[in-house]
Amino acid sequence: MFASIRSRCLPARQLASTARAAASCARTVFPASRLGCRASYHKPARSEAFKRLTKDDLAYFKAIMPSETVLATAQVGGTADAIELEGFNADWLNKYRGDSQLVLRPKTTEQVSQILQYCNTHRIAVVPQGGNTGLVGGSVPVHDEVVLSLRNMSKIRSYDELSGILVCDAGCVLEELGNYVGERGHIMPLDLGAKGSCHIGGNVAANAGGIRFLRYGSLHGSVLGLEVVLADGTVLDNLSTLRKDNTGYDLKQLFIGSEGTLGVVTGVSVATPQKPSAVNVAVLGVPTYECVQRAFKLARKRCGEVLSAYEFWDANCMGAVLRHHELKSPLGAEFPFYVLIETSGSNKEHDDEKLGALLEELMEEGIAEDGALAQDDSQIARMWSMREGIPESLGKTGPTYKYDVSIPIPVLYDIVGDIARRLETAGLYKPGDATRPVKLVCGYGHIGDGNLHLNVVAERFEDRVTEIFEPYVYEWVASHRGSISAEHGVGLMKRDYLRYSKSPEMIAYMKRVKDLFDPNHILNPYKVV
Ligand code: FAD
Ligand code: 2HG
Ligand code: ZN
C-alpha cells in the first residue's frame, strides 16, 4: 500500500500544532507604499453620458431603503468617511481602484428594482458587487459609479432535501451555503479558495470554476434558475427548480458569466450534489511537467469514475505557501511540481483500493517520486489549504500579476518558462535576485480542466512589467487556440483583449445583447465589451 511505503502524513501532535481550517479568503491589503501608486492598467476616461450624483439622488435612495443601507460621503451629501468606502472601491488584489462616493446595500429584490429604475432614468452608472473577490477588476468602480452591494441579501429561500435543490438570495456567502447543505447531506457544486467571502451571486455573475469543476462541471449546468433585475428595474423571475425545461431560449444562461453587465442577480436556484461518503486526497512530488500529464492520464484511466479533482502547482508556489502559511509540506523533500489528486465516491474500500493502486503504479513508474495520502479529514483539509492558499501566499509575497488561461494541456506550462525568460531578457527578473522588480514567476491550476494560473509577483504594479505580458500572453494563448480567460472573466483587465478569444462577429453580437438588456449602458460600464 502506498501509505505504508511512502506516507509522510504529519504525526498527530504536529498536526495539532499547525492545524488550520481549510483555506478561506483572508483579504490581503498591501500598504500603499508597496503598491506603487502608478496604475499599471488602462483606466478608460469617465463617460460624460453618466450623471454626477447630487443630494437629490441621495435623498431618493434614502427614501426607498433603510438609512443604514446607504453609505454616502460628504461629496454627495452624506456623512460617511471615504475610508468607510475603501473596501468597496479597491479590489482584492489592490490593483484596481475606483472613486465611488455612494454604496447601496439593498435588502430586497424590490429595492434593487427601484434603485435600477431610478439609475436608468437618470443615467447613473452602477457596479454590482458581491464578495469583491474578483480578480479582473470587474467588481469595483472605475470612476464614481454607485456600488450596488448584495451583501444584505443573504437568506436561504428554500431547500428541497430530496432533490438537493437550493434557492437562495444572491448575497449568500458560498462557504455558508456549503455548511447549510452539508448539514443536509449535500455539497455545493462549486468550491474555491475565496469561499469565505465570495457570494453565490458573484459566482454566477463570474461563472466561477474552482476545484470541483472536474467532477460537477460548470455553473451553466448546475444553476437551474435565476432571479435577475434588469437595468430598467424589470424583475426577470426565472427561479426555476426544474432540471428539464425546454421552453424556448434559456435566458438565464446569458447572465451566467455576464459579470454584472446585463443585470443584477438577486436570487439563485442551484442543484447541489449528494455529499460523497468517501473522500481521499493525496499530494505527490513530481519531477517534470511531462510526469504531471502522465499522472493525470493514469489517474483518469485507473480512477475515472471517482476522480473529483486533479490540481497542480510548481516549486515556486510551494515555496510561497510554506513561507506564508502555518503549513508543513507532507512530503520529505522539494520537487519541481506537486499534484493533488482527490477521489470522491460512496464506497470507501473500493476507492481506497483504486487510489492505492494508482499511487503505487505512479511511484513504480517513477512518475511520482514521493507522495502522501491524507489519513483523516483534518489532513485532507490541510492538503487542500496548501493548494487553495497559493493566491493568498503570493499576495503576501507582493503585488501579483495574474493570467488565467485555458491552453491545451501538453503546452500548458510552457508559457511559465517563456514569461520567465522574457522577464530575464528584459533585465527585470533573475531567479533568487531580490533586487529585481520581479520576484517570482510561477504556475499552478486546475490542470484537469486545462486551466493554468500564471502568476508573477513583482515589487509593484508598473507599466514596464505589464508590457512584458500584454499582449504577449494573449497572443501566445490565441496561437494555441486557447482562452484568455478560463474562469476569472474579462472585467476591466481583459476588455481590450477580447478579440484574442472571440471573433469580430461574436463580439458584435455580444454588444447587441448588451444593448438589448442595458441600452443606456449603466450596468458595470467600461467592463467586458
Ligand atoms: P465579485 O468579485 O464581487 O464580482 C465579480 C463580478 O461579478 C463583477 O463583475 C461584479 O460586478 C459581478 N457581480 C457580483 N455580484 C453580482 C450580482 N449579484 N449580480 C450581477 N453581477 C454581480 N474564480 C474561479 O473561477 N475559480 C477559483 O478557483 C477562484 N479562486 C479564487 C481564490 C481567491 C483567493 C480569490 C481572491 C478569487 C478566486 N476566484 C476564483 C475569483 C472570483 O471569480 C471568485 O472569487 C468569485 O466567483 C467572485 O465572487 P464575488 O461574490 O466575490 O464577486
Ligand atoms: C485558484 O485556482 C484561483 O486558486 C485563483 O482561481 C488563481 O489567483 C489566481 O491566479
Ligand atoms: Zn482557479
Confidence of residue 515 (pLDDT cuts 50, 70, 90): very high
Sorting pLDDT into bands at 50, 70 and 90, what band is 112? very high
pLDDT band of 326, cuts 50, 70, 90: confident
Flag the least confident range among 10-14, 73-77, 387-391, 417-421: 10-14
pLDDT > 90: percent of the chain: 91
Cβ-count burial 322-359 (b if 16+ within 10 Å, e if not):
bebbebebbbeeebbbbbbbbbbbeeeeebbebbbebb
CB 450 within 8 A of CB 408: yes
Dist CA 148 CA 157 (whole Å): 21
> Measured between alpha carbons, how far is 451 from 408 in angstroms, rounded to an integer?
9
Candidate from 95, 197, 453 with most ligand 2 atoms within 8 A of CB, to mutate: 453
Res 10: pLDDT: 33
- CB 106 near ligand 2, within 6 Å: no
Domains of the chain, each with CATH number or no CATH: 2-28+276-390 (3.30.70.2190), 398-488 (3.30.70.2740)
CA of 211 to the centre of ligand 2 (A): 10
Q: Rounded mean pLDDT of 23-46? A: 52
Taking the CA of 194 as reference, the closest ligand is: 1
> Residue of the nearest CA to atom 5 in ligand 2?
391
Yes or no: say if 218 and 225 are a contact pair by the CB < 8 Å rule.
no
pLDDT of 11 > 90? The answer is: no
pLDDT at 377 over 80: yes
pLDDT bin (cut points 50, 70, 90) of residue 13 is: very low
* CA dist., res. 72 & res. 119, Å (int): 16
The residue count of the chain comes to 529
**What residue owns the CA closest to ligand 1's atom 25?**
208
Residue 498, judged by CB atoms within 10 A of its CB (0-12, 13-18, 19+), counts as: middle
The answer to whether the beta carbons of residues 455 and 415 sit under 8 Å apart is no
Residue 347: pLDDT above 90? yes
Whether ligand 1 lies within 6 angstroms of the CB of 136 is answered as no
- With the most atoms of ligand 1 within 8 angstroms of its CB, the residue from 148, 172, 192, 200 to mutate is 192
Confidence at residue 26, expressed as pLDDT on a 0 to 100 scale = 33
- Give the mean pLDDT of 69-79: 97
Q: Whose CA is nearest to atom 46 of ligand 1?
A: 203
Mean pLDDT value of segment 258-275: 98
Mean pLDDT rounded to a whole number for the chain: 92
Residue 446 alpha carbon to ligand 3 centre in Å: 6
Categorize the per-residue pLDDT at 39 as very low, low, confident or very high, splitting at 50, 70 and 90.
Answer: low
Residue closest via CA to ligand 1's atom 42 equals 134
Q: Is the pLDDT of residue 246 over 90?
A: yes
Check pLDDT > 70 for residue 7.
no
CA distance 461 to 478: 25
Ligand 1 centroid to residue 206 C-alpha, Å:
5
Q: Which of 432, 516, 499, 426 is nearest to 464 (CA)?
A: 426
Per-residue pLDDT tens for 457-500? Answer: 999 999 999 999 999 999 999 999 999 999 999 999 999 999 99
- pLDDT value at residue 42: 87
> How far apart (Å, rounded) are the C-alpha atoms in residues 100 and 85?
8
Block residue for cell numbers 486533479 = 310
pLDDT per position as a tens digit, 167-198: 999 999 999 999 999 999 999 999 999 999 99
